[in-house]
Amino acid sequence: QVQLVESGGGLVQAGGSLRLSCAASGRTFSSYAMGWFRQAPGKEREFVAAITRSAGSTYYADSVKGRFTISRDNAKNTVYLQMTSLKPEDTAGYYCAARVWNNDQNPPRDVFVYRYWGQGTQVTVSS
């Protein structure tokens, strides 16, 4: 069991930057692959980025490649999503997710494979 607490969402102008944080409880954070997902009104929750337990592998949705960076600090039990060059279409609720992952490759990218979810934090990008 792990609890995820997100922070860092807010309102930002197009082209701006925002850094999301997701703090995890427990002693075994380093055993989890972590993902970020987002969900806009009326749309399905979609994959944004994922990172393996020791940050040996990351993966990004095509829509955010080159703009978003996922990272983690296992000593702080925290995963981050640094978002730059934000666009209005990035507006969504952003969710942190965790799943036990036994290797440092191929972080999961499907919503259904993640067991634990944060509460979501809203990111709104104005034109």
pLDDT of residue 29: 85
User: Facing residues of 96 across strands?
Assistant: 36
Contact 78, 24 (CB under 8 A): yes
pLDDT of residue 19: 98
Average pLDDT of span 54-71: 95
Q: Is the dihedral of CA 76, 121, 61, 89 positive or negative?
A: negative
pLDDT in tens, 26-36: 777 888 999 99
